[in-house]
Structure formats: structure tokens, C-alpha cells
């Protein structure tokens, strides 16, 4: 197959309830090459998790309106039926979460669940599938892996459960891994171990990864490219260095300026004023305009165009100004 | 100020500026775990296991450490939401709860706490105004004065009283709710505020607003803070001194620049080098330590870090290291056998 592994065009996700419509994702476009790692950054409610769930069709069908075009490894994701989705999930694309108990069933052992997943996607017997489960637990460096095959998820420590969830997600060698804040709940000394493990496995398996986080440092550790979301759209994208060092959009600029790091004692933090937008009442112009120090009448009334700053580096803003850090 | 709560003994600065506002000595809190048909104690969580530290007047003491190391238990002991099993807490030289000391009710007026969960700590059925004025009313302030104080405090934390007094907690954003919690903590005019993960649930852009606010209020009102967070960057930004905890004990304590610039405990070093890089060209290449933190039920004997420490030797498993000053810096103390000459560790300052 040539061309990108993932192609997302004009993705929109609406949640309808009796009294309001939430515009969670409002026209997201991106492409991902095989083996590439995209870090997806943004504040709470900016649409990061919903974007990932749309790629796996995990949103409640009755209340969700999905539109746009999503292609992953040749599959037209938004038009797949349930049968096709079962093969697609876990086989082509896997997901890991902040809370590993979302991925595991508490009443089955870890080994059985990994073996089960392998048998669902590949034509192998139980013994071979158990063998793969053991291999995966060793691969993610769970101590005494053989014994842990028969452990229940709750019998493991937090860091170990996270490793087991990675083993489960990668057992069928997916081409794309979706990671939704998988290290946010972990201790600092454990988080860095898991980030390095993911980096290593990603290279070894040659899979593409979309890694969602709200932590700039975590995104820097794992990403080739980065995209920053605000109000359900990607407002800036580029290489990690473009987005961190040559930031052009006022929102990621503000996000970086307000992120405490290094020796900043005694200096006042440059906070972004105000609060994130109400997704049931999106403005017609730029969603960031109410909080933006540069906003003018055009910003408030006209949706901003995409400004190309360098090859692969884009910002969605009427007045992009590269601030070099 | 026309309206004031009757003055108590602890309103004045009793011991002078050199006397610590808080002195903690040998503080212990163990939680029994019950189980079985007889509901007997089957295990004990050594949440806080003999810690000593001071909080100087006007300073911010940061407390860091990984999940379960005892930060919140320490905080709850300081405000006496729970009682210690052993040890004592002196407030400006007065022993809390003792006959000749400071009674609990009065102490609670001077020591206030702000929690992480801004939602759970506000009563959903009370308006913002009622939430903030509740404490002062309980402590004897008239209804009218208490309301006036609530409005004044809302202004101080950057919320327009005219827009917010009548609102309920669910009508506020997370950052606004945390401002209300801070206003409520300040309503009794405390001298010490304990902030337990007070900004951890907020988005970065909103976190910065609240950190700025906390710095302003501290300067304006002459407050003392104990600032607890698992975010090492935020603790560095806020604190004058920093205490690093590991499994219920103090691993290291000292001035912020000493802890971040010249850490001495192997755990502090590991914690600092576990921080993600902010530089795409200098990503972390190796994890500083392997494995998960051990369980605080039956923690390791001796130095609690010895099961993960790259420098562990037999003495580390055999003997608990004392928290002792680092040579040349009386303000910087570390609990590690490598810091004590003659401890039996091969890497002590004296040993070759
Ligand atoms: N099933 C759902 N029904 C209705 N609204 C939803 C649903 N799932 C998400 N939303 C809303 O969609 C918006 C985007 O949510 P999303 O979970 O993608 O945010 P996020 O960027 O992942 O934030 P966080 O960092 O807090 O995880 C939010 O306003 C959320 O409340
Ligand atoms: N009421 C309780 N009963 C039993 N165990 C408790 C109780 N409160 C705390 N613990 C245990 O004591 C230990 C210390 O908990 P504490 O809440 O002080 O940790 P912490 O450092 O604040 O962690 P975190 O960073 O996760 O907030 C933990 O193992 C915790 O499970
Ligand atoms: S006392 Fe021993 S185990 Fe503990 S930190 Fe020092 S060298 Fe490591
Ligand atoms: Mg999310
Ligand atoms: Mg805590």
C-alpha cells in the first residue's frame, strides 16, 4: 500500500440530546504515514478523546452524528458494519487508555484475555495464543511474566496493569495504536518507563501512533509530529520542534507560556484569560477569539484560514506570528 | 475592619519571626486494614511513619512525592481532620489539643485547607455566598458581616461578586470553583493555608491563573503555605523550601534551589530525572529507576527506597537512615546512609 496509513478529512462529531447539541469535533483533517507518531495536545474538552473514538467508531451510535471521511489502512471507517468493525478493532487499530480497567474484563485472567484477542484475529489455537500472550508480557517487561499470565487485572500494581494493557493492545500487531493519556495517572518514575517502552515498541513493530495528552513534556517525549486542538479543531500542527519552538498560533503560544517549567520562580505566569468555549454555542469566527490578545473584528466574525508557515507547519489563524522560543 | 471574629491567643505572632509557625515532631499515622469474618485487622498501611519538619512564618513549603507516599495524610494531620497515632504538632510554639496549648477549634481558624476536587468540597445546595460565609458565621460573625466578607473575598479571588454570589457550584467552571474554594479557605483569615493538589485538576492555562492568584494573596495577606503537588515544576515555582517524601517518610528536605540543583537523595535524583524533557532534540534516553513504588502495607525495612536504589548496600536494608544535615548546608537534610560518615555504606562522604 502506498500513501498515508490514516487519512481524516473534514471529521465532525455532534452529540445530540433533548436540550442541546454539543459540537465536539468541528472539521478535523490530518494524515499519518505508516510508522509515524502524532502527538495530539489540547485542553480538557477540546475533542482529543472523541477524535480517537471516532477512528475506532466507539461513540454511541444513537446520539452521535459523524460526518467527513476517515480512511485507515484502506478501510472506509465511517461506513463499516459491525462485523467488519470487530476485525478492524484490535486487528488493524488498537487503543490504550488512562484507566487500564477499561480494556480488561475483571473476571478473566490477563493471560486468557490476551490469548482470546489473538484467537479472534488470527487463525491460531489456544496453546499458540497463550504462547503469544506470554511473549507479549515479557516484551512489556512484566516481572515473572509466566506467573502473571494467570493473574487477574486487580492483582497487579498500577504500572504493571498499564504494561499488561499495552501487551493486550499490541498482541495482534496493529498498524495503528491510539493512546489516550495512557500515562496520566501514573507516578513520575513509572510514567517515564512506560513512555520509553512505547517508543521502543513503536519502532520495533513499525506501527503508527496517535498519542493524546495534555502534557507538553509527554508529547515531546513521544511525538514525531504534533497537533494542538482547541474547540474541536486542530489549530496548529508541525514537527515537534515547529510547534514547541516556532509556535505561531496564539493558543499554543499561551499554553506554552502558562506551562510552568524550569526555574521560573519570581516571574509571573502568563495565563490565558477566560475559560474554554461552550461547545453547544460555538462562535462563527475563531473559537479562541474571546480569549485571544490579538483578536479583532475579523477574528470574531470570520473562521480563520490555514496559514502555511513552513513545509508541514500550519496554523489556523488570521494573524499567525511565529514566536521563537 | 468593623466586623471581626473575637481575637484569640493565636492571632498574635507569639514567638516572633524566628519561631516556626508549625513544628512537626515524630508524626505517625497508620491505617489498619480490616478483613475476614471477624473484621480483624489484617494489615496496616504505614501512611505516615515518623516525620519531622518545620514550616517557617511566611514561607511556602512544597511537598512532593509519588502517589501513596503520605502527602495528603500529612496534610490531614496538620489540620487535624484525623488524629495522629504518635508525635506532636506545635502551632507557633503552642501544642495543639493540649491543656496549656491551643484548642482545636481555634487552631482550625488559623489553619485552613484547599483540596484538589473543587466540586466535592463545595456543598451543591448552597450558593457561593452561603458557602463562603458559612465558616465565619459558625465562628460568631453576624449574618450581614459574613455576607459582606464573602463579597470582599470573591473580589479578592478575581470573581465579580455581582455575578457570582447567587450561583451554585455546578454553574461554575473548574477554575472558578477552585477560586471559590480558596475564598472559602481565606474567610476565617487564617495564617496558614494547606493546598493539597489545589491546581492539579485544572487545565494548564487555568492553573497558571490560580497560581498567580495564590502568589498575590500570599503577598497581600502575609500568608504561609504548605503546597502539595505531584507536579515537580509547579512545586519548584511556588516553594521556598521543598520536602520530598517516599513511602511515609521524609527522604530529603531543603531550600528549593538545593533540592532541584543539588539533590542528594537517590530517590530525589530519580524523581527529577524522570521529568519529561521539554526539548525535542534532547529526549529522555533511559528511565532513572525501574519498577513500581512498593506497597505501603509492609514497606521495605531499613531505608524504604533500598529495593529500587542503584546504590543499595546491606546497611540500607538493615538500618533506617536518619534525616541529617548535608555537610556545609545546615538547611538541607537527607535520609540516606551515603550522607552519614561511619554508617557502613561504602560511598559515605568520608569513605574512599
Ligand atoms: N458521549 C458523549 N456525549 C455527549 N458529549 C460528549 C460525549 N463524549 C464527549 N462529549 C463532549 O465532547 C467534548 C469533547 O470531549 P473529549 O472527551 O474529546 O475531550 P478531551 O479533549 O479528550 O478532554 P480531556 O482532556 O478532558 O480528556 C466535551 O465537551 C465532552 O463533554
Ligand atoms: N482512611 C484510610 N484508610 C486506609 N488507608 C488509607 C487511608 N487514607 C490513606 N490511606 C493510605 O495511606 C497511604 C498514603 O495515602 P495519602 O493519601 O496520604 O497519599 P498521597 O501522598 O496523598 O498520594 P496521592 O499523590 O495519590 O494523593 C496510601 O497507601 C493510602 O492508600
Ligand atoms: S540509604 Fe541506601 S538505599 Fe537508601 S537511598 Fe541511600 S543508598 Fe539508597
Ligand atoms: Mg480525553
Ligand atoms: Mg493526596
SS3 string, chain A, reads: CCCCCEEEEEEEEEEECCCCEEEEEEEEEEEECCCCEEEEEECCCCCHHHHHHHHHCCCCCCCEEEEEEEEECCEEHHHCCHHHHHHHHHHCEEEECCCHHHCCCCCCCHHHHHHHHHHHHCCCCHHHHHHHHHHHHHHCCCCCHHHHCCCCHHHCCHHHHHHHHHHHHHCCCCCEEEEECCCCCCCHHHHHHHHHHHHHHHHHHCCEEEEEECCHHHHHHHCCEEEEEECCEEEEEEEHHHHHHEECCHHHHHHHHHCCCCCCCCCCCCCCCCCCCCCCCCCCCCCCHHHCCCCCHHHHHCCCCEEEEECCEEEECCCCCCEEC
The mean per-residue pLDDT over the stretch B40-59 comes to 94
CB pairs < 8 Å spanning A and B? 129
| B235: closest chain A residue by CA | A260
Q: Which residue has the cell 497537533?
A: A227
The mean per-residue pLDDT over the stretch A250-261 comes to 91
List the grid coordinates of B215.
502568589
Confidence check on the interface: ipTM exceeds 0.90, yes or no: no
Please state the separation of Cα B23 from the chain's center in Å: 14
Query: What is the spatial distance between Cα A88 and Cα A85, in angstroms, rounded to a whole number?
Result: 5
Label residue B241 by pLDDT band (50, 70, 90).
Answer: very high
Q: A115 pLDDT exceeds 70? A: yes
Residue-range domains of chain B with CATH: 19-244 (3.40.50.300), 257-277+288-339 (no CATH)
Query: What is the spatial distance between Cα B288 and Cα B267, in angstroms, rounded to a whole number?
Result: 9
Q: Which of A99-113, B56-70, B110-124 has the lowest mean pLDDT?
A: B110-124
The mean per-residue pLDDT over the stretch B128-134 comes to 94
pLDDT value for A325: 58
CB of B266 closer than 6 A to ligand 3? yes
- Let me know: does A121 contact A93? Beta carbons within 8 Å: no
The mean per-residue pLDDT over the stretch A2-12 comes to 93
Label residue A324 by pLDDT band (50, 70, 90).
Answer: low
Contact B211 A260 (CB under 8 A): yes
Q: Is A293 on the interface with B (CB under 8 A)?
A: no
Query: What is the spatial distance between Cα B114 and Cα B210, in angstroms, rounded to a whole number?
Result: 12
- CA terminus-to-terminus distance, chain B: 64
List the grid coordinates of B239.
516553594
Greater confidence, B2 or B278?
B278
Find the ligand nearest to A25 CA. Answer: 1
The mean per-residue pLDDT over the stretch B116-124 comes to 79
- A residues 88-127 near B, CB within 8 Å? none
Q: B8 pLDDT exceeds 70? A: no
**Which residues contact ligand 2 via a Cβ below 6 A?**
B 31, 45, 47, 65, 67-73, 230, 296
Q: Which of B118-122, B206-210, B237-241 has the lowest mean pLDDT?
A: B118-122
- A residues 259-288 near B, CB within 8 Å? 259-265, 268-273, 275-276
Contacts of A131 (CB under 8 A, 6+ apart): none
From the list B274, B289, B292, which residue is nearest A160 (CB)?
A: B292
Burial of A23 (0-12, 13-18, 19+ CB in 10 A): buried
Which is nearest to A202 in space by CA: A175, A180, A230, A168? Answer: A175
Average pLDDT score over chain A: 93
Q: Is A44 on the interface with B (CB under 8 A)?
A: yes
pLDDT value for B9: 54
CATH architecture under which domain A6-92+174-324 falls:
3-Layer(aba) Sandwich (3.40)
Greater confidence, B138 or A237?
A237
| B211: closest chain A residue by CA | A269
Query: What is the spatial distance between Cα B306 and Cα B316, in angstroms, rounded to a whole number?
Result: 6
Task: Please provide residue A294's backbone torsions phi and psi, each rounded to the nearest 5 degrees.
Answer: -100, -5
Contact A265 B288 (CB under 8 A): no
DSSP assignment of B240-299: SEEEEEETTEEEEEEEHHHHHHS--SHHHHHHHHTSPPS-TTS---S-SS-SPPPPSBSP
- Let me know: does A293 contact A250? Beta carbons within 8 Å: yes
pLDDT value for B3: 45
pLDDT value for B212: 92
Model pLDDT for residues B162-193, shown as the tens digit of each residue? 989 999 998 887 888 889 999 999 999 999 99
- A residues 21-40 near B, CB within 8 Å? none
CB of A48 closer than 6 A to ligand 1? yes
Compute the residue count for chain B: 352
Model pLDDT for residues A85-103, shown as the tens digit of each residue? 999 999 999 999 988 888 8
From the list A158, A187, A241, which residue is nearest B280 (CB)?
A: A241
Measure A254 CA to ligand 1 centroid, in angstroms. 22
pTM score, whole prediction: 0.91
Which is nearest to B267 in space by CA: B296, B297, B247? Answer: B247
- Residue B309: strand, helix, or coil: coil
Quote the minimal CA–CA distance from B207 to chain A in Å.
8
Label residue A316 by pLDDT band (50, 70, 90).
Answer: very high
Contacts of B20 (CB under 8 A, 6+ apart): B54, B55, B56, B57, B90, B92
Q: B103 pLDDT exceeds 60? A: yes
Amino acid at each position: 500500500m502506498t500513501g498515508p496509513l490514516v487519512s481524516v478529512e473534514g471529521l465532525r462529531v455532534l452529540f445530540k440530546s433533548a436540550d442541546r447539541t454539543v459540537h465536539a469535533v468541528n472539521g478535523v483533517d490530518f494524515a499519518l504515514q505508516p510508522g509515524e507518531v502524532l502527538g495530539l495536545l489540547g485542553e480538557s474538552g477540546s475533542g482529543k478523546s472523541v477524535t480517537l473514538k471516532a477512528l475506532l467508531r466507539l461513540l454511541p451510535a444513537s446520539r452521535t452524528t459523524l460526518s467527513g471521511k476517515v480512511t485507515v489502512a484502506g478501510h472506509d471507517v465511517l461506513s463499516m458494519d459491525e462485523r467488519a468493525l470487530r476485525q478492524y478493532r484490535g486487528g488493524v487499530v488498537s487503543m490504550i487508555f488512562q484507566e487500564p480497567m477499561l480494556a480488561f474484563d475483571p473476571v478473566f485472567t490477563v493471560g486468557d484475555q490476551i490469548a482470546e484477542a489473538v484467537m479472534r484475529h488470527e487463525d491460531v489455537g489456544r496453546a499458540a495464543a497463550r504462547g503469544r500472550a506470554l511473549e507479549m508480557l515479557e516484551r512489556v517487561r512484566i516481572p515473572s511474566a509466566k506467573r502473571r499470565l494467570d493473574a487477574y487485572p486487580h492483582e497487579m500494581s498500577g504500572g504493571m496493569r498499564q504494561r499488561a494493557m499495552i501487551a493486550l493492545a499490541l498482541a495482534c500487531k496493529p498498524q495503528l495504536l491510539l493512546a489516550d493519556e495512557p500515562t496520566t495517572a501514573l507516578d513520575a518514575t513509572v510514567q517515564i518507563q512506560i513512555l520509553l517502552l512505547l517508543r521502543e515498541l513503536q519502532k520495533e513493530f513499525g506501527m503508527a501512533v496517535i498519542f493524546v495528552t495534555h502534557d507538553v513534556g509527554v508529547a515531546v517525549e513521544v511525538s514525531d509530529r504534533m497537533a494542538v486542538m482547541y474547540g474541536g479543531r486542530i489549530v496548529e500542527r508541525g514537527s515537534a520542534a515547529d510547534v514547541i519552538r516556532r509556535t505561531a498560533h496564539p493558543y499554543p503560544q499561551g499554553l506554552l507560556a502558562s506551562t510552568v517549567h524550569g526555574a521560573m520562580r519570581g516571574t509571573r505566569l502568563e495565563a490565558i484569560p477566560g475559560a474554554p468555549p461552550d461547545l453547544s454555542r460555538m462562535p462563527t469566527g475563531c473559537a479562541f477569539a474571546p480569549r485571544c490578545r490579538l483578536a479583532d473584528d475579523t477574528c470574531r466574525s470570520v473562521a480563520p484560514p490555514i496559514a502555511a508557515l513552513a513545509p508541514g507547519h500550519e496554523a489556523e489563524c488570521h494573524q499567525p506570528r511565529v514566536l521563537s522560543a | 475592619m468593623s466586623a471581626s471574629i473575637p481575637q484569640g491567643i493565636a492571632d498574635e505572632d507569639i514567638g516572633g519571626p524566628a519561631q516556626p509557625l508549625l513544628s512537626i515532631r515524630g508524626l505517625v499515622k497508620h491505617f489498619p486494614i480490616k478483613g475476614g469474618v471477624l473484621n480483624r485487622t489484617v494489615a496496616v498501611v504505614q501512611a505516615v511513619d515518623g516525620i519531622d519538619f518545620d514550616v517557617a512564618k511566611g514561607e511556602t513549603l512544597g511537598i512532593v512525592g509519588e502517589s501513596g507516599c503520605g502527602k495528603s495524610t500529612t496534610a490531614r494531620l496538620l489540620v487535624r481532620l484525623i488524629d495522629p497515632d504518635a508525635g506532636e504538632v506545635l502551632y507557633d510554639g503552642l501544642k495543639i489539643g493540649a491543656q496549656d496549648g491551643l484548642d482545636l477549634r481555634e487552631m482550625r481558624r488559623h489553619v485552613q485547607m484547599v483540596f484538589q476536587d473543587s466540586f466535592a468540597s463545595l456543598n451543591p445546595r448552597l450558593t457561593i455566598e452561603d458557602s463562603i460565609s458559612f465558616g465565619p458565621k459558625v465562628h460568631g460573625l453576624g449574618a450581614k458581616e459574613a455576607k459582606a466578607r464573602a463579597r470582599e473575598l470573591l473580589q479578592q479571588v478575581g470573581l465579580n461578586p455581582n455575578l457570582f454570589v447567587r450561583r451554585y457550584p455546578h454553574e461554575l467552571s473548574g477554575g472558578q470553583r477552585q477560586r471559590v474554594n480558596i475564598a472559602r479557605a481565606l474567610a476565617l483569615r487564617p495564617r496558614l493555608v494547606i493546598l493539597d493538589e489545589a491546581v492539579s485538576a485544572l487545565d494548564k492555562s487555568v492553573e497558571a491563573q490560580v497560581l498567580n492568584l495564590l502568589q498575590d494573596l500570599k503577598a497581600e495577606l502575609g500568608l504561609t503555605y504548605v503546597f502539595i503537588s505531584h507536579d515537580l515544576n509547579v512545586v519548584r515555582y511556588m516553594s521556598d523550601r521543598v520536602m520530598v517524601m517516599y513511602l511515609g517518610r521524609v527522604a530529603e528536605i531543603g531550600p528549593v534551589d538545593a533540592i532541584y540543583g543539588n539533590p542528594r537523595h537517590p530517590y530525589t535524583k530519580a524523581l527529577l530525572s524522570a521529568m519529561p524533557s521539554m526539548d525535542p532534540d534532547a529526549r529522555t534516553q533511559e528511565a532513572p529507576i525501574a519498577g513500581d513504588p512498593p506497597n505501603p502495607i509492609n514497606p521495605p525495612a531499613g531505608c524504604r527506597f533500598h529495593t529500587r536504589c542503584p546504590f543499595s548496600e546491606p546497611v540500607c536494608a538493615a538500618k533506617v537512615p536518619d534525616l541529617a544535615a548535608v555537610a556545609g548546608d545546615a538547611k538541607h537534610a537527607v535520609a540516606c546512609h551515603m550522607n552519614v560518615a561511619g554508617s557502613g555504606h561504602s560511598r559515605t562522604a568520608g569513605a574512599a
